[in-house]
Chains A and B, each alone.
Chain A
């Protein structure tokens, strides 16, 4: 059994929370007492006696009162085949940063489209986030088919429209599903109303979509998080470098180098919990020991000798701005690249990227919340990285405001 992490996105009232409620309900992940609570809350909201599945996911009082999703909620369900981690992200424009939070760890995105509305501005915006963050698999769930008489023509027309968007954005693995989240058609059970649809149900697809191929086993990348030095009598000289394998396979005898210092060494052992492993791969958290006694600290990279990542202090990046306070060119920020933090200054703002068209826009106004911009960063020390295109684990970072400590931007290395 493995894990699939996915995010659901849609505009207001597309039925996103209802879809998640339906997945949980039909996969029997909602238990009797939770259902009872739900019935009570539903009765408070409507007098039709119907269960409002959306109430399951809206966890904050303000959300229940306003009937909207403000922040990402995480939901879990398990079938015999997979464990699913759902990030239920808000659809409103002003909560895009929360959607990016949910999308950054997702292997798959479900974009909901209201069958009556077709592709709308928010569909494009959510698809652009999927494209920017390189979410490998895209599911387009065309919802509320019950309100368009389960029409195959409506479904096909939306496929044609969306395919243009996908082509423009370079989204590759896109699958379409005609569903009704409210009534449960094609979610877990096959729809009785759409015999013309021959594909799998949504859940069947989520169970089967291969995710293991997304792991890079070639480029050895490991960043030191923490140095283990017990300094006890029996472990006097022990030095272990604790961290997570970002990509590639690490094993005893591998010839490696340490960056940014550029020192070469050999792996003496790969361990976890004090026991030696024959090899380690992503995303395992392990301890690496080297044959040489070298001064290595948090944030240093251990990489394969012949497969150098980039090592630069002038970086081309795309920034997704996530803070209420606009970007201040010339101000210093912290750039946190996993375990490595360096000070940085935003040098050039090259152009903004229109999040509705992906077209470049001239930078004539400050970069504000939810805007995306191409920029150049200058860092106080070199950064060891790969492009986000090649590595989502070594190609991403965040900017932190030195004075407020807030996370103000998502950084994608180009």
Chain B
């Protein structure tokens, strides 16, 4: 047996926050490009608007707290928050909502709790939930994916629509928008259609909605890149997807007519983005390995529960925020046993 021999230096440079965040930004790019491809320039404009608002808010918060302004701008964490937040937004959202949500995420959810490393809640998801609860109508107005859309907007037209709400002559909002796969599945199930009947519409692809499932695949690719670079470990993504899949499978086996087949849940909405990018946020997630499995599985289970019986069609943000709250408790009960010591009794 031969052991691999390495030459010095054996100690690598310690992992810095900015490197980790840069990896996350890189890993998000394929998925972001896919979203832009399927849903138009609006996604790109949202990304830029959210990034500007988040970085300005971060700089302002640093100045107010009497710290060097560029200290935490350079670690890119605000940029990652802005990207995750913007990728969850509908393409033609009014610009001031994007700015409001990003500023809330950074100023209130992140900096008011002490800045990077101290925030108990995922800032991107909290910003998204703020908008979703406060402005449900614009937040659920999604465009039809380009593969089935009858009209597409140019860059200039998209910009006009985002900033002035004006559409080019002859187009109405109704002609452009379409329910998301999760939304239409839910509404039509409520109207007593069976899953097979619902899936006859051209909206549907192999697993989820057309366009949506492919964006999901590209996010999956980014997630695998993060796993390969060891930015994240397998525990949380596997547990989130496993929990969601387990719930979906049980209900699918009980009654396949009223419960969409399990992979539908994985490839719809933000499940993959959540499993690899949002739930794995090192600040707000559980930190022990056993804890991460519990934390992830419960996120998956909550996604299924809220999607199926909650008030909103998409549940990723609510599930993540709920489990953020539980993460410290999970950590407390899953501390690994220190070698040489007995089992700790709960005090």
Q: Do A and B bind each other?
A: no
Interface residues, chain B, with chain A CB atoms under 8 Å away: none
